[in-house]
Amino acid sequence: QLNTSKKEMGIFNIMFNSIFWENLVTETNLYAKQVINNENKRRKIDEAWFPVDCDELKIYIALCIIAAEVKKPAIQMYWSKRAVIRTPIFRETMPYRRFLQISRFLHFANNKVANRSDKLSKIKPVINYFHQQFQEMYTMQEDIAIDESLIKFKGRLSYKQYNPSKRARFGIKVYKLCESSSGYCYNFKIYTGRDKKNV
């Protein structure tokens, strides 16, 4: 389904199809309901919560992508009115409070049916989705290679790796099966520790 005639947005919509967005909406709204119904977890910001839909989550993800490109020291600065630091698209597309709400409840898997022994259980549906998408969307040619990469991550994670030889020294180790000529990733495996069944 992927070819050189496809524009960037067309490729994005193929990779992130309705199945992806509908699952994200379902799990996010479900988790929000679970938290709000639990007095021990509920916060004041949760009182104004209303269910998300596919269009709103697309806006949210778009803002996250922009934030990754236009880096600022604090998240609230993206909504600043100050001329020297403001990025208008954030205030124009989503209120800051709503962005925080979605960030709090964003979920990819149902906690009640997730395999607690699997370190990737929180994102397992997404991993399975992209495994299928990457392999269905493109057929690799003869030149293939297995590559090891480190996805930059500085937060707390039991399987976070340290590699001083990489540009991003701390992060998540991923093994990838790629086409050498194009760099296309056909398959991948996230490393979660030695002697563990990862993906």
Q: Tell me the pLDDT tens digit for each residue of 25-65.
A: 999 999 999 999 988 888 888 889 999 999 999 999 999 99
Residue 1 in this model has a pLDDT that exceeds 70? no
Beta strands in the chain (DSSP E): 144-152, 161-162, 170-179, 185-190
Q: Average pLDDT, whole number, for the chain?
A: 90
- Of all residues in the chain, what percent carry a pLDDT higher than 70? 95
- Of all residues in the chain, what percent carry a pLDDT higher than 90? 60
Residue 5 pLDDT grade (very low, low, confident, very high; cuts 50, 70, 90):
low
Q: Exposed, middle or buried, 78 (CB in 10 Å: 0-12/13-18/19+)?
A: buried
Residue 139 in this model has a pLDDT that exceeds 70? yes
Contact 46, 36 (CB under 8 A): yes
| Residue ranges of domains in the chain | 8-105, 138-190
Region 84-107 average pLDDT: 96
Which two three-digit tokens encode residue 65?
């992508």
Which amino acid, one-letter code, is at 73?
P
> Which of 107, 103, 93, 96 has its CA nearest to residue 34?
107
Give the predicted TM-score (pTM) of the model.
0.85
First and final CA of the chain: distance in angstroms?
A: 25
Region 109-132 average pLDDT: 90
Residue 114 in this model has a pLDDT that exceeds 70? yes
Residue 198 pLDDT grade (very low, low, confident, very high; cuts 50, 70, 90):
very low
